[in-house]
Structure 1
């Protein structure tokens, strides 16, 4: 995933499609783009093992970046929207039906850790689910096509690339147990110039699951 793949389809109906995840119905490129979501200035492509992003008004000539997980996990659609839409493949004039989903999940993106995405008109929300006994230290997300990552004083994080930035909101962490959830302090931790993980502040109960939530917002593009 050194070079972000282009989405192989474009929506014919419902052109502003960034609030949903569309399946890729092209078998030739499905491993490079299982799902995608886009509008006129942003496109997210969800491939095996990570996510590719295109930003800019001239999207095909804009900034290309992406991030990968440790494991080559295949994304799965969740919360199917009953109605289907027609999409047109870029390499042909054939129109086919495609399913839409409200969420995507990468099971075992890291050992014992799942990553789920949902999307709205402004941001891509990310939920990381750490299973009981799994190590948070296994979590390390690697970016490509960027200059560097930067921790901010308010607990957020910037991903700086040529032409703009991605802003990660301050992470919200909680432990999950039979009696519900309890908040836990955590923060982003830079593990390299273009890689980051999560640091737990205080003690974590290893017998409980852990949920880490944040939003990813593009700005200045």
Structure 2
């Protein structure tokens, strides 16, 4: 997939590096299906309902792409553990969103992306982490990402299970409107279902932000 919103060679190299880093993180978790790039791609479909500002869309893409960058700071013993985590292990795992924020917020051009990384594990009802934010206190890019990340997690095959169908995943997302997810984002997800289905079937397609409706 190629995005057409970076005019300069430096900008293109920046994006390529971010995508390579995301791929490396996926490989560390034995994720071979390019999860991070896939969810970033799908997140853009919903993001365009919130803004047509290319710089903001770029930030949302990077935030979705690098959502798990903080897992660099999580030990293999915890990150790759098969089976339930202990209380202390779970606390370590939860720290990945703050670690990711610390990494990206140090880059001036990544401030919005950093906030998405910080809040991507928050839940609409306030039961998420790290700050138990609720409703629109959660940055909108993170609210969008939460829906897409759940979709990707459900439809993706795992060593221990076959991926769920799009329809089953859609039903689960709808059932969590107002609980885990922003109801407005769920409505947008439903409206964009044909596009998202096509993207899922093609394993992510080209998105041209300059010429999108």
Q: TM-score range by the shorter chain?
A: under 0.3
- Structure whose residues are more often strand by fraction: 1
Q: Which has the higher contact order (CA 8 A, sep 6+)?
A: 2
Return the TM-score normalized by structure 2. 0.23
Which entry has the higher C-alpha Rg, 1 or 2? 1
TM-score between the two structures when normalised by the length of structure 1: 0.22
